[in-house]
Amino acid sequence: MYGYGYQYSAIINGGGGNPAAAIFGTYKTRVLADGGVVENDACTIAFLESIGAGTDIIPLFDADYQSVLDYATAQGYTLPSGGQQTLQNDLLVALKAAGVWSKLDTFANFATDGDSDFALIDWKRVTDYTAFNSPTFTTNQGFTGNGTSAYIDTNFNPSTSGVNYTLDSAFFGSLIRTFGATGINGSVLNGDGIPLWFRFTDSRLYVNSSGFIGSVTTPANKSLVVGNRPNFGLQEYYLNGAFISSDTDISSSMPTVNLRALRQTTTYSNSQISFSFAGGSLNSTEQAALNANLNTYLGGLTGW
């Protein structure tokens, strides 16, 4: 899912984009184990053969993912393992291919073997979420609230920072690994009260509306829960990439506060969340792709 360049005399040349189908000969003894797929428009096999054996082929990450790594390095955060960096890059590239990435305003992956600081990076804006009162971070799983005070502030306010998230086109949600028994079971991202609210204890979902979708029951653990508004007169509930229900309440206003996970006003959750995100409305195909790509990534993690 990532491009390759060639490295010679410690200098990186070429690369980027999707890999082509050309494969190195067996004499390239130092090519990486994945086969050394080369991008034709970056460098040709003929040229690589001309510079002889001993050429290293290294992965070149998508520019947006590389910016996340560069930011983390500059901040002194502990990066994910090399193998997980590849998985994360592949996830971002897949989200782009599915048309999801371009519709995001904020996106955080809490399920990582980097440190808790790395887990709080907003991949889309390349800035940080803020953890308050020490939600518990578990490697490759995410953050767990305590049901009384711990939560995560995305530092994203749709009214002031929304680009794709608008009054009549919006979605928000989380992948929840474990639904807690107290507070707001499985808190997703919430603006305080209406108009953005996903609270399973009340079986209600609001998306930019004073009206709500009712009977939103608590799903099983390891579920992707999403609220979606595709237009002025419709709001929708998606579970694990599949449409569940909708309501024709019209859009009335946008959240004017930062979206927060594991907290809604003065009520807190003790659920464990692995991803949180918000942006412009996703259609049914994009919802399914988001679910599939997140689960492909999570399936590659130890301890998930």
**118, 72: one domain:** yes
Q: Comparing 170 with 5, which gets the higher pLDDT?
A: 170
Q: Is residue 304 part of a domain?
A: no
Q: Does residue 26 sit in the same domain as residue 131?
A: no
What six digits make up the tokens of 40? 């034709």
Q: Is the pLDDT of residue 153 over 60?
A: yes
Supply the CATH number for residue 245's domain. Answer: 2.60.120.200
Distance from chain centroid for Cα 101: 9
Q: Are residues 69 and 99 in the same domain?
A: yes
Tell me what pLDDT residue 8 has.
Answer: 35
**CB distance 241 to 110 below 8 Å:** no
- Angle, CA of 125, 130 and 131, to the nearest 5°: 145
% of the chain surpassing 70 pLDDT: 74
Whether the pLDDT of residue 47 is over 90: the answer is no
Q: Is residue 143 part of a domain?
A: yes
Above 70 in pLDDT, residue 95?
A: yes
Residues 17 and 141 in one domain: no
Asked if residue 159 is part of any domain, the answer here is: yes
Residues 94 and 38 in one domain: no
As a whole number, the mean pLDDT across the chain is: 81
Q: How far is CA 188 from CA 29, 178, 225, 261, in A?
A: 49, 12, 8, 6
- For residue 242, the one-letter residue type is A
The pTM for the full model equals: 0.81
Query: pLDDT by residue (tens digit) across 244-265?
Result: 999 999 999 888 889 988 887 7
Same domain for 23 and 113, yes or no, is no
Confidence band for 182, pLDDT divided at 50, 70 and 90:
low
Find which of 9-13, 58-62, 154-158, 229-233 is predicted with most confidence, using mean pLDDT.
229-233
What's residue 167's pLDDT? 95
Bridging pattern class, strands 263-264 and 267-268: antiparallel
Question: Between 214 and 274, where is the model more confident?
Answer: 274
Q: What is the pLDDT of residues 98-130, one digit of tens each?
A: 999 999 999 999 999 999 999 999 999 999 999
Number of independent structural domains in the chain: 2
Please indicate whether residue 180 or residue 40 has the higher confidence score (pLDDT): 180
Answer yes or no: is pLDDT of 11 > 60: no
Report yes or no on 234 lying in a domain.
yes
Q: Are residues 89 and 238 in the same domain?
A: yes
Nearest-angstrom CA–CA distance, 90 and 104: 17
Tell me whether residue 140 is in a domain: yes
pLDDT of residue 110: 98
* Judgement on whether residues 68 and 48 belong to the same structural domain of the protein: no
50 pLDDT above the threshold of 70:
no
3-state SS class at 11: strand
Query: Is residue 160 classed exposed, middle or buried when 0-12, 13-18 and 19+ CB atoms within 10 A define those classes?
Result: exposed
Is there a single domain that holds both residue 154 and residue 55? no
- pLDDT exceeds cutoff 60 at 160: yes
pLDDT computed for residue 133 by the predictor: 98
Q: What is the 3-state secondary structure (H, E, C) of 253-291?
A: CCCCCCCEECEECCEEECCEEEEEEEECCCCHHHHHHHH
- Do residues 41 and 123 both lie within one domain? no
**Per-residue confidence band for 22, with pLDDT thresholds at 50, 70 and 90:** very low
Same domain, 8 and 136: no
Q: 46 is in which domain, residue-wise?
A: 1-60
Mean pLDDT throughout 166-172?
95
CA distance 257 to 197: 12
What's the angle, vertex CA 276, arms to CA 273 and CA 281, rounded to 5?
Answer: 140
pLDDT of residue 215: 79
Top mean-pLDDT range of 46-55, 209-218, 239-248: 239-248
Is the preceding peptide bond at 80 cis, omega within 30 degrees of 0? Answer: no
**Same-domain pairing of 136 and 230:** yes
